Amino acid sequence: MTLERINELYANYSNAVKRLGEALKIDVKKGSIAVDGTIQRYEFTFELAWKLLKCILEYNGIQSVTPRLVVKEAYKAGIITDGDEWIDMLEDRNKTVHIYDEAQALAIYKKIKKQHFRQLEMLRGDVRKTAKSLRES
């Protein structure tokens, strides 16, 4: 894994976080499309997050294949600070793929807004610091 690839993934991830933030500002009273669109952006952002973490771990010689293992290793490495929240985020991402119930979709939307988005934003800042330290070493 190269720093160039990490920086490329970081740029994509940072943009995805920004777009998720924009989606979260849309009033859900405007219809279910706001909830559905936000959940879709969450799925995309989470995918980029775990792949970015995976690249950083690989750059540091740590091999992890699945999202769950990547989250656990990222927590052990100190890249993320709340491993349990990230596992919860992963489980919610897995649920969103199979949601057909509007009430369940709305419940996950609320978790994205109240909890998950904050973690995704924190990762953006933490990775910026991590990437800077990798360039300096």
One pLDDT digit (tens) per residue for the chain, 137 residues: 788 999 999 999 999 999 999 999 999 887 889 999 999 999 999 999 999 999 999 999 999 999 999 999 999 999 999 999 999 999 999 999 888 788 899 999 999 999 999 999 999 988 877 666 665 55
The beta-carbon contacts of 39-44 under 8 Å, at least 24 apart in sequence, are 39/96, 39/99, 39/105, 39/108, 39/109, 39/112, 41/16, 42/92, 42/93, 42/96, 42/112, 42/116, 43/93, 43/96, 43/97, 44/16
The total number of structural domains that make up the chain:
1
CATH number at residue 51: 1.20.120.330
pLDDT at 127: 85
Instruction: Measure the CA–CA gap between 137 and 134, rounded to whole angstroms.
Output: 5
Q: Which domain holds residue 19?
A: 3-136
Other beta carbons less than 10 A from residue 60's beta carbon: 13
pLDDT at 75: 96
